[in-house]
Structure 1
């Protein structure tokens, strides 16, 4: 059989012609939004400054609805004296620390700020005589002068762009501070403080004590004998939560989820020493606490060694489906994933020096271009 001879031909190469501005300038707005929605966040931030058209396009409701789901992940943000002015971020979805930390740029005349609260994309820093509210993505800031009263607790409550989560300032933010004999609430839209006199609870001596926002109120835990009290933001009225606390508690902390569930984290034991760590959820229309989780024994031993049974150092926060239990003197976080009902220790931050002292302050941070300052 005679073999066939196969000859190869050189592959023809073509050079791409430049894009015709006449065609691209007539691109429908809906298609342009769809293309821009695929860009990474860093590119979008640069694009905003190129022209007024892009700047207005990127803050339009239609564009926001396309991009928000994939652009804005949420992170655990770490504030520590040895990391200032940088703020390391832990990406829970990827399960690792980001190598690039956020940096706060301030004029040289500013004293080093102290991060005290975060809410819906905004950060609240404490300065010697004022609060500094910051959106790190837009680099926008607002300075709010302290009222004439030393405060023991400060909480930022920012409205969500798609829902009115701040009852007093539905399109801005509120700052709540608790003084020795009164409470003050700042309304960003009205740009004024309102003073509320009345009941003054003796709060737990936690190193990181913020109010927990839930159903239009801020809730706090009080010292032994433990109780939970709430401040209604719209009326300034104090009320004690009617649900009876579980027996044998050695300390209590609160966490509130984005879907309006209130959780209680507490140690159970005797003589002020916790033998177990449990989680309860408020049920029955706010009338009782339902136990939902117990920390495994080995992890409980580690938790006890971390805080040395000094529970004033312990605080809690809610982040992306997890209850985070933190310690002011420890670089790791103990988390309970509510949906999966599992416990985990998150890894230490590699961006900190090997020998880092106390001062670990963790916050839930969801970057948002549209959070108003």
Structure 2
């Protein structure tokens, strides 16, 4: 990146020290991915002011890959977004850098009164997916670009589970299971051509956890099955299922899969115990040869506290990855566990909720960047 900075500096200054126009012969030859990487280091306000100078710059705010790079480069981009299905339009943001709540209203003014009830379902690289129950559709928002798209349900009536929003180089895809069909069909929406495709479901049934999304890994979504536990993947391009050729750790009481999409790694979060009671919470990484390699264990005191608030009902437990950390949450308790990898740190984090938030507690917790 230092080399890139020197090119920029030399192109902006003449020998006399005065500002000069950038040589288009140099900048026009830069590969698009390199230019995108350089622009991701600009402050957001500066970049937004540049949009009118180039069609390519204007289109970048619609690019999930650029949003992801910009979020990684910025130290003020990490927020904890909370949602409750009975509080329509109420989405408090927790600033993880400053450790404080922010009053930020999401722009739903463009919705008609009949579609005012929205439920947050999934997020990915700055994109948010909501359901609009009253209008039988989904709503996908790009807050940076201030754009949105309403996607009608493919069937009426339509029931779905495990909805997962996945960003792609040219847009995004929505994955979900249709539990009321005879074969538990999988449905995929592709924003590139605005189309739905239907695929076979998977038997045996996947783990019944309405808050756990699929883990994106190597172009597929990975899920854990019910007991006896195993890991399966769904190829988003081919629409096919495959059982991962790996042996699961022994004495598992529950399983959740989490992925680091930037690092290309797949993790398993699981409880270890007998008779359905967890005595330990551990973390494994999928290594070479399809082996699960244990990398961390939650400290005993912290583990006991977390398991006690779950009442050993692990359907309430769900996990997600965010910027070098795995967040382990329980739907019934306003605390969560963060496992850091860079610092090898386990934290029992209690966010200061308002009385209204504690009374309601939030059934979906997502990081939004």
TM-score range, shorter chain: 0.7 to 0.9
Alignment of 1:1-373 (within 5 A): 28=21, 41=45, 53=52, 59=58, 69-70=73-74, 73-81=77-85, 84-92=88-96, 94-105=97-108, 106-128=111-133, 129-148=136-155, 149-159=158-168, 170-180=169-179, 181=183, 182-197=185-200, 199-257=202-260, 258-285=262-289, 287-351=290-354, 353=356, 355-366=358-369
| Structure 2 gaps, min length 5 | 1-18, 24-37, 61-65
The 8 Å contact of residues 207 and 315 in structure 1, kept in 2 or not, is answered as: no
Secondary structure of the 1:199 match is coil
TM-score of the two chains, using structure 2 as the length reference: 0.78
TM-score of the two chains, using structure 1 as the length reference: 0.77
Cα-Cα RMSD: 3.0
Q: Which has the larger radius of gyration?
A: 1
The 8 Å contact of residues 212 and 319 in structure 2, kept in 1 or not, is answered as: no
Cα displacement (A) at 1:365: 1.5
Cα displacement (A) at 1:325: 0.2
Distance in 2 between residues matched to 1:95 and 1:108, nearest whole Å: 35
The 8 Å contact of residues 153 and 179 in structure 1, kept in 2 or not, is answered as: no
Distance in 1 between residues matched to 2:21 and 2:42, nearest whole Å: 16
The 8 Å contact of residues 76 and 319 in structure 1, kept in 2 or not, is answered as: no
Q: Give 1 or 2: higher helix fraction.
A: 2
Higher relative contact order (CA 8 A, sep 6+): 1
| Structure 1 gaps, min length 5 | 1-25, 160-169, 367-373
